[in-house]
Amino acid sequence: MRRKIVAGNWKMNLNFQEAEELIEDLLELLAEEEELKTEVVVCPPYPYLELTTDFSEEKLFHVGAQNLSAFDAGAYTGEISASMLASMDVTHCIIGHSERRKYFNEDDQMLTAKVNQALAHDITPIFCVGELLPEREAGEHFKTVRWQVRHGLFHLDTAEFSKVVIAYEPVWAIGTGVTASPAQAAEMHAYIRTLIDERYGPEMAEKTSILYGGSCNAKNATELFAQPGIDGGLIGGASLLAEEFVSICKQAQTA
Ligand code: PGA
């Protein structure tokens, strides 16, 4: 059975007090869900990581970062290394999000370095892939995702790859209120699994968790998660609302 995972990507939102309130609300709601098996990951902005890892001692969720440095350590002003994150009990990190690819020019080479840094420090990469709208309209979505998966991850050996979580996030669905249809998402998840099968074999293809992201919310989560091959979600906007986020976590388990 593949792990069901729901990760909340807060992006660059909330002040310190608001972050504290959201964490407290999440803890209260998650504490009521004793049967919840979904792996819940909360990815706040860097300055709130320590606050979040302190609270996560109650083991109701894991803590992820939204980014990490491609470099190991040293004179890289403004950067945050994987070893720093690991030393703060950060267990996951989003890598290759389309906003980082677009606004910070993160290319394949940089992303492989980031994936390597994460794995070297036992941090689970949540590696994002997804096509732009013109690429889908031109029928090139499989080609784009194939390129991203191959160039971002397929340098890894089997043991390393087994620690990776993939998130399929069509860029046109992120923050737009337009989700991929369940069929579109399922089709791409199945395609990613065939790529994994070709490179690492059927067992790995079967056990890799692939999340869907892009305007996933409490209203559409069950339908998306019910698709074969969709193992949970990477949630942006809806992760800022405690009740909505916990509802999505519950839907991942029951779907
Ligand atoms: P969204 O963001 O849920 O707000 O569309 C998803 C993401 O960017 O991970």
| Count of structural domains, the chain | 1
122: pLDDT strictly greater than 90? yes
Mean pLDDT over residues 197-223, rounded?
A: 97
Mean pLDDT over residues 200-212, rounded?
A: 97
Given this model, what pLDDT does residue 58 score? 76
pTM of the complete model beyond 0.85: yes
- Is 53 inside a domain boundary? no
User: How far apart are the C-alpha atoms of 118 and 243, rounded to whole Å?
Assistant: 30
Atom of ligand 1 nearest to the CA of 9: 9
Given this model, what pLDDT does residue 56 score? 75
- Is 209 inside a domain boundary? no
Q: How far is the CA of 248 from the centre of ligand 1 (A)?
A: 13
Which residue numbers are catalytic?
A: 97, 169
Residues with C-beta less than 6 Å from any ligand 1 atom: 9, 169, 174-175, 213-216, 234-238
Categorize the per-residue pLDDT at 59 as very low, low, confident or very high, splitting at 50, 70 and 90.
confident
Q: What percentage of the chain has pLDDT greater than the value 90?
A: 93
Given this model, what pLDDT does residue 118 score? 98
- Is 162 inside a domain boundary? yes
- Is 44 inside a domain boundary? no
Q: CATH number of the domain that 172 lies in?
A: 3.20.20.70
User: How far apart are the C-alpha atoms of 209 and 7, rounded to whole Å?
Assistant: 12
pLDDT digits (tens, 9 = 90+) for 86-97: 999 999 999 999
Q: Which domain covers residue 151, as residue numbers?
A: 96-204
Cα separations in angstroms, 156 against 119, 123, 129: 10, 15, 17
Given this model, what pLDDT does residue 1 score? 75
- Is 64 inside a domain boundary? no
- Is 134 inside a domain boundary? yes
